């Protein structure tokens, strides 16, 4: 009996060992495959840099603060293959005014460009919009568009304002011979009561100064705010004795620098 029991126990142990080896052989490929499977990693999506906008160097002409000529100011405006868009950008930049303080803004605040057109024989039409007028090209123009003066100024300032546009167009656009002005989509007799706009005007290139073009000042870079540190001037507790140092003298008010008076037409 003990011998048969020992043989049976030995057979059971052999069977269990065989089953264990078979189970490990069956499960080992899956475990190996699971161990070797690559773990997906998140990759950052590359961000394409913004496409730089092509610019074009132009010369804009503005009246000088001291002098009777028009001085050129170098400016970078967005390049355009469309000539009409280029005309619009040029004229709008002149109406916006210069960036240097030694040049004058030819037109008062609020004057904008409603449209620009090029006709045959070198004729350009500029449609100006006075302050408060409807700048859209839809609908009928205002009934008072063709009336007289739009702002009060002298004849010299009015001629300089018109010639700032004319000379700028003639210096930057080829084959410009004359420019006609309309106001709010309608023919205009004058701008300030002195210049006759009932016929196209010819650019007077003798008003353009021969001095080198002026470069506008660079835009100031933003100054980061300083991190506020711990204050060293905190008042002491009520139980402490006040400092015995002599009182400080009152600060003198900061001097105000007077800016040079401008002769802009308002």
Task: Supply the pLDDT for residue 213.
Answer: 93
Give the pLDDT band (50/70/90) at residue 89.
very high
Q: What is the phi/psi pair of residue 6, to 5°?
A: -65, -40
pLDDT tens for 183-194 read 999 999 999 889
In a domain, residue 230? The reply is: no
In a domain, residue 32? The reply is: no
Task: Supply the pLDDT for residue 149.
Answer: 61
Task: Supply the pLDDT for residue 19.
Answer: 77
> Dihedral of the CA atoms 238, 239, 244, 250 (nearest 10)?
0
Q: What total of structural domains would you count in the chain? A: 1
In a domain, residue 189? The reply is: yes
Residues with Cβ < 8 Å from 77, sequence gap 6 or more?
55, 56, 58, 89, 90, 93
Q: Which range, 204-218, 220-234, 251-265, is most confident?
A: 204-218
In a domain, residue 94? The reply is: yes
In a domain, residue 172? The reply is: yes
Task: Supply the pLDDT for residue 27.
Answer: 66
In a domain, residue 181? The reply is: yes
Per-state percent for the chain, helix, strand, coil, to nearest 5: 25, 15, 55
Which has more pLDDT, 135 or 127? 127
3-state SS, 22-67, equals HHHHHHHHHHHHHHHCCCCCCCCCCCCCCCCCCEEEEEEEEEECCC
15: buried, middle or exposed (CB in 10 Å: 19+, 13-18, 0-12)? Answer: exposed
Each as own residue / partner, the long-range contacts of residues 171-176 (CB below 8 Å, 24 or more positions apart, any chain) are 171/59, 171/61, 171/72, 171/205, 171/208, 172/58, 172/59, 172/90, 173/83, 173/86, 173/87, 173/90, 173/124, 175/122, 176/122, 176/124, 176/203
Task: Give yes or no for residue 261 having a pLDDT over 50.
Answer: no
The residue range of the domain holding 129 is 55-135+147-207
Task: Supply the pLDDT for residue 10.
Answer: 77
Q: Which range, 3-12, 70-79, 136-145, is most confident?
A: 70-79
In a domain, residue 39? The reply is: no
Task: Supply the pLDDT for residue 227.
Answer: 45
End-to-end Cα separation, the chain, in angstroms: 127
Task: Give yes or no for residue 111 having a pLDDT over 60.
Answer: yes
pTM comes to 0.61
Task: Supply the pLDDT for residue 189.
Answer: 92
pLDDT tens for 166-183 read 999 999 999 999 999 999
In a domain, residue 59? The reply is: yes
Task: Supply the pLDDT for residue 258.
Answer: 40
Could you tell me which of 91, 93, 87 has the C-alpha nearest to residue 74? 93
Spatial distance between the Cα atoms of 156 and 55, rounded to a whole number of angstroms: 34
Residues with Cβ < 8 Å from 167, sequence gap 6 or more?
61, 70, 203, 204, 205, 207, 208
Spatial distance between the Cα atoms of 58 and 73, rounded to a whole number of angstroms: 8
């Amino acid at each position: 009996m003990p011998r048969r029991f020992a043989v049976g126990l030995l057979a059971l142990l052999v069977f269990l060992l065989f089953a264990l080896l078979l189970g490990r052989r069956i499960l080992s490929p899956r475990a190996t495959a699971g161990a070797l499977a690559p773990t997906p990693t998140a990759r950052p999506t590359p961000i394409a840099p913004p496409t730089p906008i092509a610019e074009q160097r132009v010369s804009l002409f503005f009246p000088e603060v001291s002098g009777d000529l028009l001085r050129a100011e170098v400016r970078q405006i967005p390049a355009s293959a469309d000539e009409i868009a280029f005309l619009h950008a040029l004229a709008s930049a002149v109406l916006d005014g210069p960036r240097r303080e030694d040049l004058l803004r030819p037109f008062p605040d609020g004057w904008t460009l409603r449209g620009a057109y090029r006709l045959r024989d070198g004729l350009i039409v500029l449609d100006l919009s006075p302050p408060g007028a409807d700048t859209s090209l839809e609908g009928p123009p205002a009934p008072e568009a063709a009336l007289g003066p739009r702002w009060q100024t002298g004849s010299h300032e009015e001629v300089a304002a018109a010639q700032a546009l004319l000379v700028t167009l003639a210096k930057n656009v080829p084959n410009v011979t004359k420019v006609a002005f309309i106001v709010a989509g309608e023919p205009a007799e004058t701008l300030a009561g002195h210049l006759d706009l009932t016929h196209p005007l010819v650019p007077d290139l003798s008003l353009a100064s021969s001095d080198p073009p002026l470069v506008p000042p660079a835009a100031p870079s933003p100054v980061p705010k300083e991190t506020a540190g711990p204050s060293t001037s905190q008042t002491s507790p009520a139980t402490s004795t006040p400092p015995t140092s002599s009182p400080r003298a009152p600060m003198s008010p900061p001097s105000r620098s007077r800016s040079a008076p401008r002769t802009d037409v308002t």
